Amino acid sequence: MMQRSLVLLKPDCIERRLAGQIIARFEAKGLNIVAMKMLRVTPELAKQHYAEHVAKPFYPSLEKFITSAPIIALAIEGLDVIRVVRDMLGATNGLNAAPGTIRGDFSSSRQMNLVHASDSEESAQRELDLYFDSAEFCDHELLLTPSMRAEDEA
Ligand code: CMP
């Protein structure tokens, strides 16, 4: 099923100059970036985004981290992209993430795990609406798509 996912390259990703390498992995996989921007997450946005974690003991530290430097937000489109991107990221804690995944290759932290991605269609819609206005999406079909998958793999 064609889906969109909200992906955030977190402050540690920007600070460590890993944004290009990580975006390149999504491109190489054949996924389609349909919106992208750099921004600073405010405490208010952090509380909305991480609403399910606000009451947890680690939240103050998470908010301090996610608001500490700019992030890059991307809307990524593709077949089953929500699961595909989560699989590409690996386990939440970089120490547990499998080698070959983004966190497995680049992170050794539970909090500084470089990238966030939506975990369900419901969260994807909610998170995409938090970070992007509808006018910021550039709908397009890449010319190389027929080289990426067969016509009946829609
Ligand atoms: P993310 O996928 O963005 O979703 C919630 C974030 O909270 C998670 O990545 C981590 O950055 C952070 N997180 C999750 N669990 C913990 C924890 N136990 N302690 C600190 N940070 C956590």
Could you identify the residue written with the tokens 């909090």? 111
How is domain 2-137 classified at the CATH fold level? Alpha-Beta Plaits (3.30.70)
> In this model, does residue 137 exceed pLDDT 90?
yes
Residues tagged active-site: 116
- Indicate which residue's Cα is closest to atom 5 of ligand 1: 50
Question: Which one-letter DSSP state was computed for residue 98?
Answer: P
Share of the chain above pLDDT 70, in %: 100
CA separation for the pair 113, 106 (Å, rounded): 8
pLDDT tens digits, 75-105: 999 999 999 999 999 999 999 999 999 999 9
pTM of the predicted structure, to 2 decimals: 0.96
> Which ligand 1 atom is nearest residue 10's CA?
3
Q: Which of 56, 45, 44, 51 is nearest to 8 (CA)?
A: 45
pLDDT tier, 55 (very low <50, low <70, confident <90, very high otherwise): very high
Q: Which of 33, 31, 58, 59 is nearest to 47 (CA)?
A: 59
54 within ligand 1 shell (Cβ under 6 A): no
123 within ligand 1 shell (Cβ under 6 A): no
5 within ligand 1 shell (Cβ under 6 A): no
> In this model, does residue 142 exceed pLDDT 90?
no
